[in-house]
Amino acid sequence: MRTRVAIIGAGPAGLLLALLLHRSGVDAVVLERRSRAYCESRVRAGVLEQGTVDTLTEAGVGDRMRAEGHVHHGIELRFGGRGHRIAFEDLVPGRAITVYGQQEVVKDLIAANLEAGVEIRFEVEDIALHDFTGPGDAAPGGPAPHLTFGTERLDCDFIAGCDGFHGVSRASIPADRLRVFEKTYPFAWLGILADTAPSAPELVYAASERGFSLHSMRSDHVSRFYLQVPPDTRPEDWTHDAIWAELKARHETVPGFTLTTGPITAVDVAAMRSFVVEPMRFGRLLLAGDAAHIVPPTGAKGLNLAVADVRVLARALGEYYRTGTTAGLDAYSATCLRRVWRVQHFSWWMTSLLHAFEGTDDYDRRLQRAQLEAVVGSRAQATALAENYVGLPYEDE
């Protein structure tokens, strides 16, 4: 079996890349170790930047997102017994976020790829990468890259590693050829999915001495919450009654606000970490999304950063097959990393701004409160938050 681009991973990054390449006339095959049902049901991010929404729409998978997603023009920062709205419509006119679950994005992308005739192989075991090294550029010559899985072989020109942090793609690169930047935070997030109507029209980021909490939503009838918890927390450590009690304690801190409770359908724990590898390209292997970088979820950037990578990669591969130029591929890593580090900074800043850190003294807590007051009291600082939250413009805009 042969294709031009072999894509490992059927998450948002791999599926969007396959669809964009198909629309550019470049054939690709997607290999995924999980089942289709697993990929379409895995609950993950739900906040889409303006650029992500525009990209999905341009790719032809925006209809259901526009019909079922919720467009938000602001978020609330809640602290000190008050709520403060960051108004996107005033600070960054024409840009917003859309709340639409990652699993829904995946469903739309799988359906669109299959309808277009793109081959997606699910439940593929023991994927191994071969001969993807070489002179380090995209020029012909040398052994051709290929993948093996089971008894099969897939020959290709390039391999796109979109298989996440624990995938085989990055692990196939010699460790001494990558530089790793990593930060682990001293807490985790307890994620809660509940069959209850949202208690607020927009996302609420609540900071208190008890710890951080986020009120989000997935639909008119499903809410998503997060609680800052110790890093060794297990889902079974929290009863549902204890979860609601703690959510109420952290959110019902402003007059007139009551948290709507209901059946909890899922509880999970997310580690809080920052991670980047450089470079994002090694020979004919190009990393995208979580395979190359992870951000703490405070700024809602993981999925959106993966989409930004894929835009750059799809354009570079399209140019290569259209004109033979390797300029875009040669610049791929540097182009993506410029945005990656800006997003890393924003996600670190939001995390540092809103969470309670064990061991901090009164001085540090006063500084944190002063920073929160500055953000909501300064138009310039509120604008900087809004610009980053709705998504920075792409380099090609």
HSE-CB at 12 with a 13 A cutoff on CA atoms is 29
pLDDT for the residue 138: 47
Which of the four pLDDT bands, split at 50, 70 and 90, describes residue 241?
very high
Please, which residues have CB within 8 angstroms of residue 63's CB and are 6 or more apart in sequence? none
pLDDT in tens, 324-371: 999 999 999 999 999 999 999 999 999 999 999 998 999 999 999 999
Question: How much is the pLDDT for 137?
Answer: 46
> CATH 3.30.9.10 spans which residues of the chain?
185-272+359-389
Query: Pick the catalytic residue: 73, 146, 301, 355?
Result: 301
pLDDT of residue 143: 75
Whether residue 166 is predicted with pLDDT greater than 50 in this model: the reply is: yes
192-204 mean pLDDT: 96
The verdict on whether 205 is a catalytic residue reads yes
The mean per-residue pLDDT over the stretch 24-35 comes to 97
Catalytic residue among 72, 84, 130, 248: 72
Tens of pLDDT, residue by residue over 243-302, are: 999 999 999 999 999 999 999 999 999 999 999 999 999 999 999 999 999 999 999 999
Is 72 in the active site? yes
Cα–Cα distance for residue pair 212/217, rounded to 1 Å: 17
* The pLDDT of residue 135: 45
| Mean pLDDT of the 48-59 span | 97
Is it true that domain 185-272+359-389 has CATH number 3.40.640.10?
no
Provide, rounded to the nearest whole percent, the portion of the chain with pLDDT above 90.
93
The mean pLDDT of the chain is 95
Nearest C-alpha neighbor of 210 from the set 81, 365, 356, 373: 356
Is the pLDDT confidence value at 219 over 80? yes
pTM of the entire structure?
A: 0.95
* Residue range(s) occupied by CATH 3.50.50.60 in the chain: 5-72+96-182+273-353
Starting at the earlier edge strand, list the strands of the sheet with 97-99.
47-48, 97-99, 70-72
- Is the pLDDT at 1 greater than 80? The verdict is yes
Q: Is pLDDT of 131 > 60?
A: yes
Residue 311: how many other CB atoms lie within 10 Å: 24
Question: Is the pLDDT confidence value at 389 over 80?
Answer: yes
Question: Which residue among the candidates 205, 226, 320, 332 is catalytic per the annotation?
Answer: 205
Q: Is 130 a catalytic residue?
A: no
pLDDT at 101 over 60: yes
The yes-or-no answer on residue 301 being catalytic is yes
CATH topology of domain 5-72+96-182+273-353: FAD/NAD(P)-binding domain (3.50.50)
The C-alpha atoms of residue 397 and residue 5 are separated, in whole angstroms, by 26
Note if 297 is an active site residue. Answer: yes
- The residue annotated as part of the active site, out of 146, 215, 297, 355, is 297
